A = this chain, B = another copy of it.
């Protein structure tokens, strides 16, 4: 059907890029590995921001803004951190027409500069917890970029918190992981597995890293959000100390957690089909496109457009301002007009022609299934609301069933290699290996450990070492 989009079976990578282009979501920038997020794509990010920001605030967090540039020596204060991020840094060496005495890195993440400020601000246990977040741009130089998934610059939020006790910091780490899981599932319709990362996959400088892992429609994994328990690593590196209740100085316990514009990639690769973008109604910036159809200018002006505006009012009433469009491209063929909205992932098309007006109905067309519903104009609010709820639920269930049916258990390493090579998807296996074993598995198969799923307490003989290991999810990943 969609000649501007390769099919997934033919070329998944090209399909992904074609969906982005057909949906007018993003374009390449004239800067190595960077992208421009176009209005249709940026509107999705604005919806994501709105939903997550409200929940951060509800859980007691406040937004702040920290500097883009980080003195390079800050990065070197935490040994694992600099090893992880230094190779990806973009460096500012000149400014104001002069060479700088010390270079600055453009932030690849902000634990270091925020740690420096926290050390200045936190004096006593009365100042704790500090629960701040920032929405900002981030730069990690990429050799091979991929729109939304891996670009040298991307947008994200990074929460950074400091606590009096280890327990509080651990609770915060898991609380924010749960906030991520809930919103990804309930709003983005992304069924995610949450769990702990293995040692080889931890954030550089973290004691424990937790992750939300989603399965894309090519059965690969996409890490969609992470939450880190940083222990006292950054507190020690940056001297974030407080006077405790006994009057003694001690180091804080800190956490950090983030989601990024990568989530737009997750939405595309979870829900879309060979015709183009599909967006879950709750996150779709445009919930419905109203397409009045007629060649009769008088009828258009006197009957169709007033009725279309009435229907737009119903959508406004359900979802607020700015979530509906009325298509006035009467010079185009109806099929082409339908296709534009379809490729932008609009969940509901509402067709309105002369026949519909006579019958007192409008034709609703679902983006996910293509199902057509002729609904009475008197009953439209209830029907629109019901259909969009069903579409939301359907997209979630479909993705969840896809993940379940593409998750397999491997009882030994031969079986593991066979599943990865021939079936793909998520593989459950017992694992008790080292980061070196993780490298070996990746070299052998291309797969990496994604997480030890929260609440899954199964143990058994590790497929590599034979020692007792935890049940671990592996997959090829983006």
Residues of A within 8 A of B (CB): 27, 29-32, 34-39, 42-43, 45-46, 57, 62-71, 74, 86-97, 103-104, 106, 113, 116-117, 120-121, 132, 136-137, 139, 141-143, 152-153, 155, 322
Since A31-B113, A95-B152 are in contact, a sample of 19 more A-B pairs with Cβ atoms closer than 8 Å, ordered by chain A residue number, is A29-B113, A30-B71, A31-B71, A32-B95, A34-B68, A36-B67, A36-B117, A43-B62, A65-B155, A68-B106, A68-B153, A86-B97, A87-B97, A88-B96, A89-B96, A94-B103, A96-B141, A96-B142, A96-B143
Residues of B within 8 A of A31 (CB): 67, 69-71, 104, 113
Do B91 and A27 have beta carbons less than 8 Å apart? no
CA distance A32 to B62 in the complex (A): 25
Is A69's CB under 8 angstroms from B34's CB? yes
Asked if A93 contacts B96 (CB within 8 A), the reply is no
Query: Which residues of the partner chain B approach A93 to less than 8 Å between Cβ atoms?
Result: 91-94
Complex: A367 Cα to B71 Cα, angstroms: 41
Is the CB–CB distance between B153 and A67 below 8 Å?
yes
B90 touches A95 (CB 8 A): yes
Expressed in whole angstroms, the Cα–Cα distance for A27 and B453 within the complex equals 41
A68 / chain B contacts, CB cutoff of 8 Å:
34, 68, 106, 137, 139, 153
Say whether A91 contacts B94, CB under 8 Å: yes
| A392 CB, min distance to chain B CBs, angstroms | 24
6 closest A-B pairs by beta carbon, nearest first, are A96-B141, A39-B62, A90-B95, A37-B65, A91-B94, A29-B67
Q: Cα distance A35–B87 when bound, in Å? A: 27
Q: How far is the CB of A116 from chain B (nearest CB, A)?
A: 6
A35 to B113, CA, bound (A): 12
- Give me 13 A-to-B residue pairs in the complex whose CB atoms sit less than 8 angstroms apart, sorted by A's number: A29-B67, A30-B74, A31-B113, A36-B117, A43-B62, A43-B63, A46-B63, A68-B68, A68-B139, A69-B153, A89-B95, A90-B92, A93-B93
Measured CB to CB, the closest approach of chain B to A469, in angstroms, equals 36
Kindly identify which residue among B66, B90, B121, B322 contacts A57, using a CB–CB cutoff of 8 Å. Answer: B322
Question: Closest Cβ of chain B: how far from A123's Cβ, in Å?
Answer: 14
- Selected contact of A64 from candidates B37, B63, B143, CB within 8 Å: B37
Q: How far is the CB of A88 from chain B (nearest CB, A)?
A: 7
Minimum distance in angstroms from A202 CB to a CB of chain B: 22
> Complex: how many Å from CA A206 to CA B414?
68
Instruction: Tell me the bound Cα distance from A152 to B96 in angstroms.
Output: 10
Look across to chain B and name the residue whose beta carbon is closest to the beta carbon of A71.
Answer: B30
Chain B residues in 8 Å Cβ range of A90: 69, 92, 94-96, 104
Complexed CA–CA distance, A88 and B94 (Å)? 10
Instruction: State the Cβ distance, A16 to closest chain B Cβ, in Å.
Output: 20
Q: Which B residues are CB-close (under 8 A) to A141?
A: 95-96
Q: In the complex, A139→B104 CA distance in Å?
A: 13
A92–B91 CB distance below 8 A:
yes
Interfacial chain B residues near A86, Cβ < 8 Å? 97
